[in-house]
Structure 1
């Protein structure tokens, strides 16, 4: 029964409630108060450090992160050209390991590369033609592979595009290695995952420390899969091997639409929470579904029409699952609202529908959310404009840019609100740092110094609640989000006071300790 004293403990009840002491018993907080009330000589002294409830990344891609952690970051500030990418991939620990070992990378954005083009199969073949190579684009929707990867995936000049995806080709018809959008990228991923299930389990288990050193004690897995194996089994085996973060899995709707047995589970460590629907792609990839065209004249891609969206919502309602809907473009978001705003919610313990990203919101959309019968959540990622400001400036009209990542406006709607990372789907070397995301939400400043819609800045306490209490309510982590009696004894100790440091230092904050159930795990 550890007791902690002399801390600056943010309880997570609201923006202003702090205590200096707490007691944890059987994994849960049993008392909070002031250090002067404690007489226990064995109490653990926090030495005036700031303590937060364990952080929750309610929209992330742990399988992708597990892959990325043993892969190569092809992101700024270290990779700024295709030549840099080739050099970085040659430094991968997997390089030279033989034809059964994939060389993996992540995070490239062609607009940030000196050549201003997407790398091709020929670029990757300069690294190796005997080892398969797979590199995620920054949005994790698209990817590139070398000739060996294409061979293992069975992709040839005559392979048809999968529904919702596009296989790139050179002018002569030969596949150029670019796999555009999730459906195409999955062709490579399935070939890769089919080769080594145990390797995927090991990578997941090894990624546990990554989350804990970022203070993240609970996660939302937003890419649950049935093929080539069930994501629930992957997590179950990873937990047995030492994976510690509490996890909620959202299955891609297209893979489970005919599965009448997919039901929510309520285990505190690992649960099935919902389904994931893709409305569109990404802004930086010119595939977000927008009302106004990109400079190319295209409006992006609509991956789910009104009929299919209604089918997905009906399925979720029948199965008593939450729906998390990826929507970055304003046309995609508007379609969600028009189809669902008059529907009756079917979940009472959390929002029935989560709109993920909600990157471009007009005043009319915000009003429609407030007037809706449906109970929504808005889960967004300011780290996108932090890392991708140039792309947003280039691809969006001035009006659209002014409506981008309206964090304060989202927070002031009746919808539940949370910050999250969508990691590793952004071109930044620390894609799921909560503190970079908080910095972006508070300062509205991109890495290049551009200030993005400063009127949408939020105070630090609100940003902290958006990583603790609020995502707990959205993601079904009912035991987390607060440090008050009855809640899990999951908390983080910071290396500096997030509530008093200059805002410029927010992105540099680090976690000194992470505790789960009253036991130190980092």
Structure 2
């Protein structure tokens, strides 16, 4: 038994703080005032601020694992295709032979000096012997060089996969740009099939990355069955030391003809099924009612009938349904199909998660509030922080006013979690909870633009979005609070997030991370 004393301990319950708590067998067994502690085995927190272990309810750990050994093709270091080529040539993978992929992530063509995406010809100037793969900032689209296309079996005669597009030069050659998830998967499967053990190693190595950000639990939102089962990747990674608790959400198109049921487990579980309704705003593929300046309205990736099929599958297998929907037309389609359905998950766990919920009108929020369905809204302040220019360019003023309405989401009574969707944004620290909290509280973008300031939320609400709200959304029933009966997963901060000037929130870091009462990270 160990007691922690003299801290500013946020319990995760309402606005309740304590100064001490006691841990036994990996759980919190008591929380209260330091003056009431009589234990001999104590750890003095010396006034430090303590939060429940943070939860990133929507992220892509496999992509993060790849990104950590790949090259960040993002501002402030990479601002042009020429700078991107130079950065990729400095990759540790460069020159390692034809079986080693050179990887990068995070480019956004609107932020590049050339105002276009890189293509195979650009990347072939780096290497034609090694395959090269770079994720666009939204992680929906990607680009590969000629060697990557060859390994994936893609040429001028390859048909577009359903829901994806293989772009071509005027002479018919594929440009290497793979638009949307279905197309990117053609390159990803070629890459992953080549080295499963490398993928496991990268996952294990990424564990420290999460712990140094104070993240003790994650929602894996891109579970796959091909080229291997994501559950096996996690099982093998956990066996070799991967520490964050993980909930897996399988992409519906990969399991709809299989029997995949929800599983229980504190460290690892199958939690849900994932459906894509549309693409991204920065990629002009989010499905909107109003047209983009190009005249397009985005892409509708899932029909109402297919979404209803996914609902039925989730109910049958006791899975949560997580639906990627960024555009207003996509979100409305989710609401229309699900609002009159009885929730099927027990213990108040939201049966339907609307992922991103980027553009929501008052009417949509009222429909969510009044629906028979119990919803969660899982959104990402880091998007408007890093992609403000794209949103201003691609949305009209009416649409922009509906972007990332955090205060209104919380007022709708839907459980609202903050998350990163990392590494799917053009920022070198895409899953820093403190940048997200900073953006949620200040509504300030990286370019100092102020985005819908009336939708700012308090620091307390933002911290809830990464603790107990995120635990409810992701069904991490033993996390989110530092109260008796909850796991002793907590973080000690370098600064008091509740009292520092708002401008300094983004600079806060984690001093220590503890899981089950054991220190697993120290700054």
Give the structure-2-normalised TM-score: 0.99
State the distance in 2 between where 1:269 and 1:340 align.
30
State the distance in 2 between where 1:255 and 1:154 align.
21
Matched, 1:400 2:391: no
Partner of 1:60: 59
Determine helix, strand or coil for the equivalent of 2:41. Answer: coil
Determine helix, strand or coil for the equivalent of 1:521. Answer: strand
Matched, 1:472 2:486: no
Matched, 1:288 2:286: yes
Partner of 1:362: 361
CA contact (8 A) 2:385 2:439 kept: yes
Partner of 1:482: 481
Structure 1 unaligned segments of length 5 or more: list them. Answer: none
Partner of 1:10: 10
State the distance in 2 between where 1:336 and 1:314 align.
14
How big is the shift at 1:2?
Answer: 1.7
How big is the shift at 1:348?
Answer: 2.2
Partner of 1:205: 204
Partner of 2:214: 215
How big is the shift at 1:47?
Answer: 0.7
- Between the two proteins, the alignment pairs up a number of residues equal to 520
How big is the shift at 1:37?
Answer: 1.5
Partner of 2:272: 274
State the distance in 1 between where 2:362 and 2:40 align.
57
Partner of 1:38: 37
How big is the shift at 1:414?
Answer: 2.2
State the distance in 2 between where 1:252 and 1:22 align.
40
RMSD: 0.6
Structure 2 unaligned segments of length 5 or more: list them. Answer: none
> Deviations along 1:133-162, whole A, 9 cap, x unmatched?
000000000000000000000000000000
Partner of 2:47: 48
Matched, 1:447 2:440: no
State the distance in 1 between where 2:29 and 2:345 align.
29
Determine helix, strand or coil for the equivalent of 2:466. Answer: coil
Partner of 1:156: 155
What does 1:310-321 correspond to in 2, within 5 Å?
310-321=308-319
Partner of 1:327: 325
CA contact (8 A) 2:467 2:479 kept: yes
How big is the shift at 1:41?
Answer: 3.7
Q: Which runs of 4+ in 1 moved over 4 A?
A: none
What does 1:105-120 correspond to in 2, within 5 Å?
105-120=104-119
State the distance in 1 between where 2:135 and 2:354 align.
24
How big is the shift at 1:33?
Answer: 1.1
CA contact (8 A) 2:2 2:39 kept: no
Partner of 2:352: 353
How big is the shift at 1:42?
Answer: 3.2
Determine helix, strand or coil for the equivalent of 1:512. Answer: strand
What does 1:496-515 correspond to in 2, within 5 Å?
496-515=495-514
State the distance in 2 between where 1:396 and 1:271 align.
38
How big is the shift at 1:122?
Answer: 0.3
> Deviations along 1:29-48, whole A, 9 cap, x unmatched?
00111111123343101110
